[in-house]
Structure 1
Amino acid sequence: MTRRGLALVALAAVLVVAGCQAPVAGPAGGGPAPDGGPAGADRQPANITVQNGTLAVDPGLVFARVQTVAGTNVTPPERVRAFGNESDYGNASLGGGGLPPFQEAVGLKTGPVPNASDVGLQFAGQTSALGTVVVYAGPNATTDDVRLVVAHEFVHYVQFKQGRSAQLRQRVDTSTTDGSYVVRSLLEGPAVYTTDAYLERYTDNGTQNSPVYRAIAEALPPGHVGRYGNSQYAEGFEYVASRVDDPADIPRVYESPPTTSEQVIHNLTADEEPPVALDAAVEPAGGWREVGTDRLGEAFVRTTLAVGVTQERADRAAAGWGNDRLYVYRTPGQRTASYAWTFAWDDAGEAAEFERALRAYLDARGERRAGQWAIDDGLSARVLAPSERSTVLLLGNGSFVAGTDATVTVG
């Protein structure tokens, strides 16, 4: 039975400042300014109070118009909390802070985005399952920025009111990193798609939500953990755009959702390309005990390989993903864990392409010595190819890497 791969394995959801988010300080002492776009919405503006600050748009009008575009009819939130100061909001950086140990071990990069304001990262927001809507906008945020992020957050509010998150979790295994990616993608993607439709209908200046994530991807270096979080917005949007012609049709995406990041990336349903069977038997060096497992998925493989090879090569090498399973090991006397990351591929050619890219990735990270790699921070690595359709990456303590073997059966 697969167990959740501990906090040290699972990816923390990266808060992407731009897709889900925003307020900006409005006129001092005044009420909210009216929303832009054509006069007269299809629905009566809601009565929504702005707390803590002011907004450059009327949240009640934005909410009414979002519901018109989405074809929904839920009770509006009573209030929106607005922040114009980054320290008050608490997190307006992308991919900042530390990383869980496994992400550090595979070399993922972190840190704030250089010149974030140049790519529009002047706004952020979040909506909780309890209906709390919070928005932040920096001093350079425009009214268009605020309108975009408020609309995006209201889509999330509607999603929670309709139980979309719970609906996804009934169909997708969120005990894995890969499954969590799918759920986030199918919340963020529809929010981006609906926000684009709202902006297209009610503004005439060409502002859209979806280009923000392309700009973020270009601003972040390959291998940055923020790219993984950002891809949930970008790939989720592309998935929804390939499946529906109108925001009102989005509910059918939730009725038969993808279950892996591979399916999200390649616009597949759960039935079109399910994970292949992967049966791994890892034989660790003496004293090492398995403490957790996880499935990381194609999206995570892409991000990891890009630490050492180009993003384009990483994407190609990951495209033959059939399944993966990460095993986490610990032993008394060792402060850090060691890992066996096992892979199943669609065919032998895909496995060979991945192995070449994996070895190039390791060459970029460390020095190859006698069949294994010495990486900074005392890490060692070794690559196994137990069969023509499988690969194993051993990573961690030198004795673990040197003394561990594995067999993999791909069904």
Structure 2
Amino acid sequence: MYQRVERVMDADAPAPTVQVSDDGPINFSAASLSPLQEALGYRRGAESVAKCGRFYPAFATDDTVTVAPGNLSAGAVELILAHEYVHILQDGVEGYDRVSDVESFAVRRSLSEGSAVYVADRYADRYDRRWNGTTPLGIRECIYHRIGDANRGLAGRYYFGARHFAQRVDSPADLSAVYRSPPRTTEQLIHGLGPDEERVANLSVSVRQRGRWIGDTRQRAGELRLRSWLRTGLDADRAGTAATGWGADERLTFDRGERTGVAWVLRMDSPGDADELAAALDDLEATLESRDATSVETARVGDGTVVAFAGPESFVAGAEATGSAGDVTVTVP
């Protein structure tokens, strides 16, 4: 079947060695929460991934594919192998070397794994193979919506990565069109956009610290992580609608002893998008606080920027945000 994947991709590389392991099913409930995730109110557990099926480890190295078939059907194992064979072949696809230049790790991983899901999905249609009654993209969609909070961002890379290829190319033989012109943000990834569309808005964030909460570790989180956080307390449609319109962000973390506080500055594309996000965050706040998961408060800066504070009450109650939509000052207790 390796030759079938080569034909589907119009690619060529030496066939890998296939190793079979006796590893047991993946335990999605085993994921632990980071201090950042705990501050944001994430929950442990895998929710209802079992409704999507049972899943076993599989991975590819330079010239070897290792798969644990468990009790999966022959069709499911074939589709898993098709996914891993893509990883053997994709290094030779024109433009794949440009993926490593993308700054965002989440986007790089989404392009690598998403293209493998996309090719396996098209393989399933071409050769009439099914995995738990659906195709690889259907499986990834199910996992994304049912997996626990701690792993939803990771699951989203596979799901939205595959959708991105489906939106931008007509055939697995055209992967190079995306590899040569990869998205730069998870917003572009989610919405099937190229690197020159919906560019990141200007956003400058400065910090005033009063001495108790210290740190100022910051990163651009992106739309995918925003969606993942909103899903801790909102349904998929509400989270997707509220996160759409993302323009730029900076997520900052501060520590006091073993406790972590978060200031998430989110500049949206328009005042209307900011209104929608702020309303969603108000509902998220109510849900998370009703679970005694964390404290959340929001502030508006200008017409288009929302700042969310999350973590212990002593952090949230004393934090402030001032400035303009593109130039925000966060003051922490």
Do they fold alike, i.e. is TM over 0.5? Answer: yes
- Whether the 8 Å contact between 2:49 and 2:143 is mirrored in structure 1 is no
Give distance in 1, aligned partners of 2:192 and 2:218. Answer: 27
Contact 1:284 1:404 in 2 (8 A): no
The answer to which structure has the higher helix fraction is 2
| Residue 137 of structure 1 pairs with residue 52 of structure 2 | no
On the 8 A contact 2:295/2:312 being kept in 1, the answer is: yes
Q: How does 1:220-235 map to 2 (within 5 A)?
A: 220=147, 224-235=149-160
2:263–2:309: 8 Å Cα contact kept in structure 1? yes
User: In angstroms, what is the RMSD of aligned CA positions?
Assistant: 2.5
- Contact 1:280 1:408 (8 Å CA) reproduced: no
Which residue is 1:150 aligned to? 81
Tell whether 2:36 aligns with 1:102: yes
How many residues end up aligned between the 2 structures?
324
**CA distance in 1: counterparts of 2:18 and 2:263, whole angstroms:** 46
Asked whether 1:73 is paired with 2:12, we answer yes
Tell me if structure 2 keeps the 8 A contact 1:282–1:340. no
Quote the offset at 1:95 in angstroms.
Answer: 5.4
Bigger CA drift: 355-364 or 195-204?
195-204
Q: Which residue pairs with 1:284 in the alignment?
A: 209
Asked if 1:356 is matched to 2:279, the reply is: yes
Q: Would you say 1:383 and 2:317 are equivalent positions?
A: no
Shift of 1:348: 0.8
Question: Where in structure 2 are there 5+ consecutive unaligned residues?
Answer: 327-333
Task: Report the CA distance between 1:121 and its aligned residue.
Answer: 2.5
Task: Supply the AA of the counterpart residue of 1:336.
Answer: R
Report the equivalent of 2:331: none
Preserved contact between residue 123 and residue 145 of structure 1 (Cα < 8 Å):
no
Distance 2:65 2:94 in 1: 16
User: CA separation in 2, counterparts of 1:217 and 1:283?
Assistant: 37
Measure the CA separation in 1 of the matches of 2:212 and 2:109: 38
Give the deviation of 1:292 after TM superposition.
1.4
Q: Judge conservation of contact 1:276–1:410 (CA < 8 Å) in 2.
A: no
Question: In structure 2, how many angstroms separate the alpha carbons of the residues matched to 1:196 and 1:104?
Answer: 35
**Could you say which residue in structure 2 is the equivalent of 1:26?**
none
The structure-2 alpha-carbon separation of the partners of 1:359 and 1:339, relative to structure 1 and needing over 3 Å to count, comes to same
CA distance in structure 2 between the partners assigned to 1:325 and 1:115 by the alignment: 31
Q: TM-score, normalised by structure 1?
A: 0.72
CA distance in 1: counterparts of 2:323 and 2:67, whole angstroms? 48
Q: Give the letter for the 1:296 counterpart.
A: A
CA shift for structure 1 position 354: 0.7
Deviation for aligned residue 1:207 = 6.1
Structure 1 gap ranges (5+): 1-61, 174-178, 368-374
Q: For residue 166 of structure 1, report the CA deviation from its aligned partner.
A: 4.8
Q: Look up the match of 1:343.
A: 266
Q: Could you say which residue in structure 2 is the equivalent of 1:202? A: 127
**Does the alignment pair 1:92 with 2:20?**
no
What does 1:8-407 align with in structure 2 at a 5 Å threshold?
62-77=1-16, 79-86=17-24, 92-94=26-28, 96-112=30-46, 114=48, 116=50, 118-128=51-61, 130-139=62-71, 141-160=72-91, 166-170=97-101, 172-173=102-103, 179-203=104-128, 208-220=135-147, 224-331=149-256, 334-366=257-289, 376=292, 379-407=294-322
2-side partners of 1:400 and 1:122: how far apart?
40
Using the alignment, how far apart are the partners of 2:67 and 2:44 within structure 1? 24
Task: Note the alpha carbon deviations across 1:139-186, whole angstroms, 9 max, x for none.
Answer: 2x110011110111010121245597653121x11xxxxx22211221
Q: TM-score, normalised by structure 2?
A: 0.88
Q: Go from structure 1 to structure 2 and tell me whether the alpha carbon gap of 1:94 and 1:245 turns closer, same or farther (over 3 Å shift).
A: same
Identical aligned residues as a percent: 32
